[in-house]
Amino acid sequence: MSPKRRLRSKKSRSKAKSLRSPRAPAKPVKKRVRPRQPLAKRTRGRKNPFNDAGFVLICDIVDFSRLPHEKQDKAVTRLWSYLKANHKNGLLKDPKNYVVNGTGDGLMLAYFSHNTTIRHEQFIEFAAGMIKHMSKGKKPFQLRVGVTQGPFGFVQPPGAQARQAVGTGINQCARLVTVGDNDTVTVSEDFINKWGQRSESSIQQLFVPTADKPAHDVVIKRGELLSLRFYAPQGSGLNSASKKIESFRVVRELITRQLDAMEKALIDLLHFAQPELRQTPLDIRISVLNERRLNPFASALCTTDYRHHAGGNGIKAGTAYPLTEKGTGPVGSAYAQNTICVVHNLPEWLTNDSHSKEAYYRLYTENRPYDALGREQVDGFGRHARAFLTFPFSLMKADPAKKLYPDGAICIDIMQPLQGFTREQLEIFTGQLQSKYSDALAQLWRLRGQL
């Protein structure tokens, strides 16, 4: 075909194409997206949901990092040989019922189907046997073991050769294992209580402290307490609490002394400003409050066991202040806004006088820099104080706008109205107390049992 004819043919095809009806644009093809499974179900093998009452054991070899490399190998080998020796018994017979993970200087055992296969006492005996196994031989190794009962599940990330246990129960056990002394099993009170529900014997007598004494409380997170008891294999001579628990007691005594000194300093300030107050003893109570999670969706500022009153009045009574943007009540405002809050000159609360109650509630809640408490909450106060001086304390810089709240707050409630003072004067006094005691109190607060 000649070049001229080829050009004419190309033009005719282009003209015919332009005369055709325009084509409708193609619809975009939607890409099918497979729904993503929850983390606990993206595993190979058994699809296990998060268990609400699983057994967890975590142990670590004492002073592992100080051992020579050769002894570290021997210690880890001996520890895992205990699992191998017990592989055929009821606890480790079926690998589908449990997860074992190494922790570098120890191991973690999380057991799922305990309700039908094993009992609480078997788990404790297994932990005690682990301690005895490590103490054998010419060169014994010491072990710390923690046992608890709580929710966990497992995942198997891509590339991992074994399942990994995750969950609240694992986190709690990892913290409590550090509390006990060497060759001791630290057991959560929840584990013991559930054991007691399935056993007629008073099994708490096997632990320290025994059933007639309260368990030891430690703080595993901000506002979250965990009650603990201790168990040791027969013949190891466990007679008292661990050394760390004893050190917690010393710190708690120092906190109590700080509150006592704070009361005396406040009395001196008030007497210096108004000498006539010396004629009547001031009725002062000082309380430490910190944040506590009430449920997965709500938190509140709650009173703690650290309360000081010269006559012991109202020490056991407590109030929960819901955590809002402005805070509820004077102490809630101090905590939520990281500032000083003072309320004074409130009317006297008379139990048999509804008018005095109404006046108290109105002046306590109206035109205040905080959200009001409900009437039932105010009626239920252990003490209807007539003046409140409150301030926050924190070791780190608090910024409520970024949800970085203080470590806690101090509430000083006084039964006298302090009507001879202005709010500005009382704010200055409160600021002086905060400046003098806040830092020391914040440091002691972190040391009182925080894991």
**What CATH number is associated with residue 355?**
3.30.450
* 119 in any annotated domain: yes
Q: What is the pLDDT of residues 185-226, one digit of tens each?
A: 999 888 888 887 776 666 667 788 877 777 887 776 655 678
- Do residues 183 and 251 both lie within one domain? no
User: Among 224, 241, 258, where does a domain finish?
Assistant: 241
Start-to-end CA span in the chain (Å): 91
DSSP character string of 280-347: S---EEEEEEEEEEEETTEEEEEEEEEEEETT-TTSS---EEE--SS-BHHHHHHHHHTS-EEE--PP
pLDDT above 70: residue 296: no
- Do residues 221 and 274 both lie within one domain? no
Choose among 181, 203, 216: nearest CA to 125: 203
- Do residues 202 and 256 both lie within one domain? no
What does the alpha-carbon distance between residue 451 and residue 177 come to, in Å, rounded to a whole number?
Answer: 10
What does the alpha-carbon distance between residue 287 and residue 305 come to, in Å, rounded to a whole number?
Answer: 8
What's the CATH code of the domain at 63? Answer: 3.30.70.1230
Q: Which residue has the higher pLDDT, 284 or 447?
A: 284
Other C-beta atoms closer than 10 Å to the C-beta of 289 total 28
Q: How confident is the model at residue 39 (pLDDT cuts 50, 70, 90)?
A: very low
- Do residues 77 and 210 both lie within one domain? yes
- Give the pLDDT confidence score for residue 2 in this predicted structure: 58
- Do residues 290 and 373 both lie within one domain? yes
Mean pLDDT over the full length of the chain: 82
pLDDT above 90: residue 289: yes
- Give the pLDDT confidence score for residue 293 in this predicted structure: 77
User: Among 202, 221, 241, where does a domain finish?
Assistant: 241
- Do residues 329 and 305 both lie within one domain? yes
* 346 in any annotated domain: yes
- Cis before residue 209, ω within 30 degrees of 0? yes
Q: How confident is the model at residue 4 (pLDDT cuts 50, 70, 90)?
A: low
Q: Which residue has the higher pLDDT, 432 or 297?
A: 432
How open is the CA angle 310-363-430, to the nearest 5 degrees? 45
* 294 in any annotated domain: yes
Stretch 54-69: mean pLDDT: 90
Q: What is the pLDDT of residues 326-374, one digit of tens each?
A: 999 999 999 999 999 999 999 999 988 999 999 999 999 988 999 999 8
- Do residues 180 and 252 both lie within one domain? no
* 371 in any annotated domain: yes
Residue 402 has which token pair? 């970024």
Q: What is the pLDDT of residues 131-184, one digit of tens each?
A: 999 988 788 899 999 999 888 887 877 776 677 888 888 888 888 888 888 888
Q: pTM of the prediction? A: 0.62
- Give the pLDDT confidence score for residue 28 in this predicted structure: 59
Residue 330 has which token pair? 């004077």
Total tally of structural domains belonging to the chain: 2
- Do residues 192 and 272 both lie within one domain? no
Full residue range of the structural domain in which residue 114 is found: 40-241
* 16 in any annotated domain: no
* 34 in any annotated domain: no
- Do residues 181 and 255 both lie within one domain? no
| Rounded percentage of the chain residues whose pLDDT exceeds 70 | 80
Sign of CA dihedral 4, 5, 7, 11: positive
User: Among 241, 266, 289, where does a domain finish?
Assistant: 241
* 368 in any annotated domain: yes
Contacts of 114 (CB under 8 A, 6+ apart): 53, 54, 55, 123
Choose among 55, 47, 48, 40: nearest CA to 110: 55
| Rounded percentage of the chain residues whose pLDDT exceeds 90 | 35
Which stretch of DSSP H or E encloses residue 423? helix 423-447
Q: How confident is the model at residue 448 (pLDDT cuts 50, 70, 90)?
A: confident
- Do residues 134 and 266 both lie within one domain? no
What does the alpha-carbon distance between residue 243 and residue 147 come to, in Å, rounded to a whole number?
Answer: 19
What does the alpha-carbon distance between residue 220 and residue 236 come to, in Å, rounded to a whole number?
Answer: 27
- Give the pLDDT confidence score for residue 31 in this predicted structure: 54
- Rounded (10°) angle between helices 243-273 and 423-447: 170
- Do residues 431 and 284 both lie within one domain? yes
Q: How confident is the model at residue 282 (pLDDT cuts 50, 70, 90)?
A: very high
Q: What burial class does residue 448 get, using C-beta atoms within 10 Å of its C-beta: 0-12 exposed, 13-18 middle, 19+ buried?
A: buried
- Give the pLDDT confidence score for residue 43 in this predicted structure: 41
* 22 in any annotated domain: no
Backbone angles phi, psi at 359, to 5 degrees: -65, -40
- Do residues 120 and 173 both lie within one domain? yes
